[in-house]
């Protein structure tokens, strides 16, 4: 099909298993991943090797599966084995034979939604991209399935299975125990290191879903490495608060995470009120404040003023050191309990002051109205004011 013109099957035996090959004559700068997933950088220093060039060298490392193998691995793509859904299509847990045929291996199998053109582009991009990346904090692509037949086309990707599930599930689903503070810091650092590797080693950017896209990307449609930095800032606040970027189930002022956290600046006494209550005050306040400041620097409107991911990595390492040293060693004089109590009192007093100011404004308005009343009406208004009924 034309949408797969980047690839062609190697000549030879029909049963031969080999990774899709780049079409001869395709220039490296003609490669383009899907706009919502991966793109070549327009601002980074030129990489010595492009992704298509690296792919041609490493394609033989990918396993090629038949559709029947993956159908059997997932029990005919039984919904019981479905573990996710995205723009690409459904993701199923499955079991395949190891490469040597002597054991079994759990995998995650992404099945392309045949009705979406965007999915076809993403399939091509991911085969090339994940076929060359090697980093402990990035999911590994084991192989793929590409079949054209009378019953239609089948495009599938086979990944290593992440037994610990996703960060999203652990943060937002109460079925899982809460992530401890140290684990959250390590996740922040690991994710930052993965992004830094992609930016500096492979010149790519990865854009998430709604709420994670930087304002400069939304306005121009142009991706840079700083677009990812914005999205990472969002993730930092999600990890701190245990809240989604957008949650329609919360009171209106709290539905948009980035708007809500602005009411609790990192240096303010109220800051602790944004922290995930599931942490049960078991965290370093100083480290948490530093994470929030780092998130704020990632979320500045001007892309050029955001830090590089390599700088984010170094800052997170410093924050983890501060957290590990403990409150006393780090010179931190506040405890979560004391700070939370003080913050709650501050909010309470602020609310009371707001009520008092509102009362004063109302009385002044009524007094002005009373100037135009006469006789019995004026006397009744004065009696109500003294009784504080109005």
- Annotated binding residues for ATP, written as ranges, equal 111
Q: Answer positive or negative: Cα dihedral of 71, 72, 77, 82.
A: negative
Contacts of 104 (CB under 8 A, 6+ apart): 95, 96, 97, 98
Contact 246, 256 (CB under 8 A): yes
Q: Quick one: DSSP state of residue 286? A: H
Feature table: binding site: 111
Total residues found in the chain within this entry: 390
Give the span between the Cα atoms of 314 and 44, in whole angstroms: 19
Classify 89 as helix, strand or coil. Answer: strand
Count of CB atoms situated within 10 Å of the CB of 126: 20
Number of helical (H) and strand (E) elements in the chain, helices listed first: 12, 10
H/E/C letters for each residue in 121-161? Answer: HHHHHHHHHHCCCCCCCCCCEEEEEEEEECCEEEEEEEEEC
Classify 18 as helix, strand or coil. Answer: coil
Tell me how far apart the 2 most distant CA atoms of the chain are, in Å: 107
Nearest to 261 by CA among 237, 226, 283: 237
Give the span between the Cα atoms of 136 and 160, in whole angstroms: 12
In terms of Cβ atoms closer than 10 Å to its own Cβ (0-12, 13-18, 19+), residue 99 is exposed
Contacts of 363 (CB under 8 A, 6+ apart): 385
Nearest to 330 by CA among 343, 313, 317, 318: 318
Residue appearing with tokens 């700083």: 226
149 beta partners: 152
């Amino acid at each position: 099909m034309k949408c797969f013109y980047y690839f062609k099957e190697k000549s030879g035996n029909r049963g031969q298993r080999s990774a899709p090959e780049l079409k001869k004559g395709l220039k490296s700068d003609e490669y383009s991943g899907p706009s919502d997933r991966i793109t070549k950088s327009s601002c980074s220093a030129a990489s010595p090797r492009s992704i298509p060039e690296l792919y041609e060298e490493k394609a033989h490392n990918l396993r090629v599966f038949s559709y029947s193998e993956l159908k059997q691995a997932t029990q005919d793509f039984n919904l019981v084995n479905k573990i996710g859904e995205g723009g690409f299509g459904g993701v199923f847990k499955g079991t395949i034979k190891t490469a040597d045929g002597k054991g079994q291996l759990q995998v995650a199998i992404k099945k392309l939604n045949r009705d979406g053109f965007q999915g076809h582009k993403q399939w091509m991009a991911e085969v090339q991209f994940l076929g060359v990346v090697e980093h402990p904090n990035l999911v590994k692509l084991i192989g793929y399935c590409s079949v054209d037949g009378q019953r239609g086309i089948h495009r599938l990707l086979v990944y290593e299975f992440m037994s610990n599930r996703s960060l999203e599930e652990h943060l937002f689903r109460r079925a899982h125990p809460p992530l401890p503070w140290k684990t959250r810091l390590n996740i922040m650092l690991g994710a930052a290191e993965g992004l830094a590797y992609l930016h500096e080693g492979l010149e790519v950017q990865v854009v998430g879903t709604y709420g994670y896209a930087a304002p400069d990307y939304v306005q121009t449609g142009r991706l840079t490495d700083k677009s990812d930095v914005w999205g990472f800032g969002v993730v930092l606040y999600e990890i701190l608060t245990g809240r989604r970027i957008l949650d329609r189930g919360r009171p209106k002022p709290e539905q948009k995470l980035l708007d809500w956290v602005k009411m609790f600046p990192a240096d303010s006494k109220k800051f602790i009120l944004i922290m995930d209550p599931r942490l049960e005050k078991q965290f370093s306040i100083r480290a948490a404040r530093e994470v929030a400041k780092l998130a704020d620097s990632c979320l500045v409107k001007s892309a050029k003023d955001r830090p590089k991911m390599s700088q984010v990595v170094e800052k997170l390492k410093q924050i983890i050191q501060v957290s590990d040293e403990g409150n006393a060693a780090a010179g931190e004089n506040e405890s979560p309990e004391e700070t939370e109590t003080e913050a709650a009192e501050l909010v309470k007093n602020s609310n009371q002051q707001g009520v008092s100011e509102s009362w004063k404004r109302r009385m002044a308005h009524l007094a002005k109205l009373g100037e135009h009343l006469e006789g019995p009406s004026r006397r009744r208004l004065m009696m109500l004011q003294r009784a504080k009924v109005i």
